[in-house]
Structure 1
Amino acid sequence: MVALVQASTALPIMLFSLVSGALADNFNRRRVMLVAQSFMLAVSVSLSAFAYFGLITPWLLLTFTFMLGCGTALNNPSWQASVGDMVPRDDLPGAVALNSMGFNITRSVGPAIGGAIVAFAGAAAAFAVNTLSYLPLILALFRWQPKYDTNPLPRETMGRAISAGLRYVAMSPNIAKVIFRSFVFGLSASAVLALLPLVARDLVGGGPLVYGVLLGAFGIGAIGGALLSARLREFMSSEAIVKSAFIGFALSAILTAVSTNTWLTSAALLVSGACWVLALSLFNVTVQLSTPRWVVGRALSLYQTTTFGGIAGGSWIWGQAAAENGAEMALLASSVVMLIGGAIGLRYALPEFKTLNLDPLNLFSEPLLALDLKPRSGPIVIMIDYIIKEEDMNEFLQVMATRRRIRIRDGAGHWALMRDLENPEVWTESYHTPTWVEYVRHNQRRTKADAIVGTRIRALHKGDAEPRVHRMIERQTTLPHDIAAHKMPIDMS
């Protein structure tokens, strides 16, 4: 049951974050956060009422915890993406670390305050105070009036927005590496927090007060990690910091497993907390700096889904392991997984993001068309002709492999590269979009980093003019009245 409490918080984030990410990218993020915070306020009011009347049971508490997790799942992508909206790109790592520090201050101070309230006034009073804590944030969101860039295109449907986010991450190797590493970290690191009550009771031999001390040590370590983050980035690469966090967390988990002294365990948890924030904040920053703003909410939601999925799964796995073999063996096993996660960096190292410019290119303008197309008209077929000399063919194919990934990542389908059999120097790139508005959206997603690929392709093109672009719309060859005629019954009389 101890591990289920943490799992019930993390599970909604794993299940619903992708939808929340699509909402964060397609709706006003401030309003999404207001809805999420108001929902959590309503759940907290209900929890306080049930506690006041003595109706709380363990499973009902898990239900309320799950509902609060749903509110967190709705809130998190908009919250995290808003950090990048408020600060310049160069300041984003520090802003994310500061956000993590604030979260971990509440993590360390909150239980102490909650425990004091429970001791003096009971659990219902503690839940009531927690309910009141939502009001200042809701008020701040009401007063905050951010300026968002307006997009004249119609909003994406939810299904298409989710598929666009999945496609973008799948076709972005840098983000995929981060997501995989964050899953492994969450899976293994969850053991310490999930089993901390058992550590306090069984390994250290303490009670609620000792648990509060240990949790506070973890929170203080997390604050220290956030403060160290900027200094470490000055002389260490992203991969070196993350690898150190994996190793440091593993060693501290081992020490936590074998220690029977409160202060020694607290020292180990200081290291665990620091490594926790160093790894997760750097994962977060890497995702944000590897993603353009139009899809950052969905990318962050996928990152959070895998991270909290690892935490939820790990909480259950290590809880079961502790039930069968004790908390000590469960922590030792988790440390082995953590060390494996550090070794994975030898093959899937985190990218360095300082030189990546993902600002929108903003060079596309809709062409003048002879046909009167509607936004939903389609499917649209694009064909681009290039003249490539034989000696440049290998380089051209390499560059076009990158172009293919970018096209598909930004929403194109049925991408193909064809060579003219009668004139081998003529190459044609083709791709489809479902509608005209999706073609426009596809081109608006192009970034300044993507423009480098286009520049290389144009340099290889040897035609007298720019590569020729054909924009076409697919049409059926059978007219509607012909279809109806084929379906009419034949009179055999």
Structure 2
Amino acid sequence: MRRQLADTFRSLRVRNYRLFAAGQLTSLLGRWMQIVSIDWLVLQLSGNSGSALGFVTAFQFLPVLLLSLTGGKLADRYNKRRMLLIFNSAWLVLSASMATLVLSGAIQLWHVFVFSAVLGVVNALENPVRQSFVSELVGTELLPNALSLSSATFNSARIIGPAIAGGLIAFFGTGTVIAINAVGYLAPLVCNMLMNRDDLLVPHAIPKDTRIREGVRYTLRRSDLVLPLVLMFIIGGVGFNFPITLALLAKTVFHTGPSTFGLLTTALASGALAGALYSSKRRGRPTANVVIGTAGAFSALETLVGVAPSFITASLVLIPCGFAMSFLGQAANQRIQLGVDADHRGRVMALYVMVFLGSTPIFAPLIGWLSEHAGPRSGLWLGGLVGVVTAAAAFAVRCRQRDVRISVTIRPRPRLILTEGAVERAA
């Protein structure tokens, strides 16, 4: 048992990665508390409008679609550690400003829209830098484990943060929770400054060509990278809108308060944490079939959440749904990161972030509008069905690429033939 635990957390033997994980856990706890607070604040300010919730989500992620490639270019060209210090400082200032507006009672819906858009700009530039920075902390051999533990850190915060936020919102309101998030951004700043810079595996030479166009051209020549990117664009766009769909499910279907909404998110995140820890055992690059199969499983489970008859049933199904969601995200991430050259990693991961998170502003308003007009469950079950069809299409394309033909042969049953007193079996 001790050996298994040591193997699961082997990346934590690296001091710089321990500091990185500690800083991320603290800041992500606050960030997930803030996400729940913002979603609840929007519902209060808009009169439970699913469309408003969808637009806020779109404002957060539209910059990801527009600026992620710029973030990837920065990651390949400049010092990643230094840029992360800048981005975390910007988040601290933004969250503190938002908390001031809410606590003062001056907050309006358009303030939330603007805040979400500016926050999205910082997120678009920071995400590719953070994703590619992990390889400089641990190296290629420990990279699959480190990526899975980073996902486990994310989902640990996703479990604890909403549960805490639900209770704090009920007692103190959304402004207090956003203020706590602002303070939480001090942790990654301190941990980043404590890192030993000599131990970072920084490339000795800056790539000669860090143009965005060259990074896109490199990716499009690689079908093994294109397939997980397309899958995550569609399934991430239509299926990963849980901040919208679960908030509406809790408030308008099950008629519960913010603490219960936090419990639904916690159930999803509990499964996601288990999926991330299970992924940490992987030592090599996952196959395309693993990515496709997990995509189909996640989508089927999300469809079941959409038709769950009760709060308890929905919570129970959300646990394996979260497991499949996390396992899918890790498999796609690892397949890309372990198959790309180091001098292109920032730009390729920027493409991954762009299609994964950047698809949200395209689909989130549609999911919000659909949930408002066709019923709050429709965003879940429709997203699940689209994902199932997408996974099936990806499998068909994969079979065609490898010239694999699937056919069903029906053989006739054996029959008895009487010949000169003897009984013979013929096929």
Q: Is the 8 A contact 2:166 2:260 kept in 1?
A: no
Quote the offset at 1:325 in angstroms.
0.7
Task: Write 1 or 2 for the structure with the bigger share of helix.
Answer: 2
Residue equivalent to 1:273: 322
Q: Is the 8 A contact 2:132 2:346 kept in 1?
A: yes
Matched, 1:175 2:230: no
Residue equivalent to 2:249: 199
Matched, 1:66 2:154: no
Moved over 3 A (4+): 233-237, 347-350
Matched, 1:214 2:268: no
- The two structures have a TM-score, normalised by structure 1, of 0.66
Quote the offset at 1:256 in angstroms.
1.6
Q: Which of residues 349, 352, 358 in structure 2 aligns to 1:300?
A: 349
Quote the offset at 1:119 in angstroms.
3.0
Matched, 1:248 2:302: no
Matched, 1:41 2:92: yes
Change (3 A) 1:271 1:152: closer
Q: Is the 8 A contact 2:96 2:182 kept in 1?
A: yes
2:202 maps to a residue whose letter is Y
- The two structures have a TM-score, normalised by structure 2, of 0.76
1:125 maps to a residue whose letter is T
Distance in 1, Cα, partners of 2:286 & 2:148: 16
Residue equivalent to 1:282: 331
Which digits, 9 at most, give the CA deviation of each residue in 1:181-235, with x for residues without a partner? 111221221244421111112333322222111000011110011122245x589
Distance in 2, Cα, partners of 1:239 & 1:280: 13
Q: Secondary structure at the match of 1:260?
A: coil
Residue equivalent to 2:65: 14
Distance in 1, Cα, partners of 2:283 & 2:92: 41
Residue equivalent to 1:455: none
Residue equivalent to 1:163: 213
Quote the offset at 1:152 in angstroms.
7.1
Which digits, 9 at most, give the CA deviation of each residue in 1:16-70, with x for residues without a partner? 1100000000000011111111111111121122122211112211211221222
Q: What is the 5 A alignment of 1:89-238?
A: 89-144=140-195, 145=197, 146-151=200-205, 161-231=211-281, 233=282, 238=287
What is the aligned residue count?
A: 345
Q: Which of residues 99, 102, 117 in structure 2 aligns to 1:51?
A: 102
Quote the offset at 1:134 in angstroms.
0.3
Higher RCO (CA 8 Å, separation ≥ 6 residues) = 2
Q: Is the 8 A contact 2:239 2:380 kept in 1?
A: no
Which digits, 9 at most, give the CA deviation of each residue in 1:296-337, with x for residues without a partner? 010000111011122332212211111221122332221211
Q: Is the 8 A contact 2:296 2:392 kept in 1?
A: no
Q: Is the 8 A contact 1:204 1:259 kept in 2?
A: no
Which digits, 9 at most, give the CA deviation of each residue in 1:330-378, with x for residues without a partner? 322212111012113324449xxxxxxxxxxxxxxxxxxxxxxxxxxxx
1:304 maps to a residue whose letter is V
Distance in 2, Cα, partners of 1:118 & 1:332: 29
Which digits, 9 at most, give the CA deviation of each residue in 1:276-310, with x for residues without a partner? 11111111111111111111010000111011122
Q: Is the 8 A contact 1:3 1:195 kept in 2?
A: no
Residue equivalent to 2:394: 345
Q: Is the 8 A contact 1:204 1:260 kept in 2?
A: no
1:340 maps to a residue whose letter is V
Bigger Cα displacement from structure 2, 282-291 vs 215-224:
282-291
Change (3 A) 1:169 1:236: closer
Q: Secondary structure at the match of 1:112?
A: helix
Percentage of matched positions with identical amino acids: 27
Change (3 A) 1:191 1:151: closer
Residue equivalent to 1:314: 363
Runs of at least 5 residues in structure 2 that lack an aligned partner in the other structure:
1-51, 400-427
Distance in 2, Cα, partners of 1:192 & 1:117: 21
Distance in 1, Cα, partners of 2:228 & 2:117: 27
* RMSD value, Cα: 2.2
Distance in 1, Cα, partners of 2:284 & 2:201: 35
Q: Is the 8 A contact 1:241 1:278 kept in 2?
A: no
Change (3 A) 1:83 1:234: closer
Which digits, 9 at most, give the CA deviation of each residue in 1:128-154, with x for residues without a partner? 11100000101111222235232277x
Distance in 2, Cα, partners of 1:251 & 1:268: 11
Q: Secondary structure at the match of 2:255?
A: coil
Q: Is the 8 A contact 2:162 2:263 kept in 1?
A: no
Q: Which of residues 325, 341, 344 in structure 1 aligns to 2:374?
A: 325
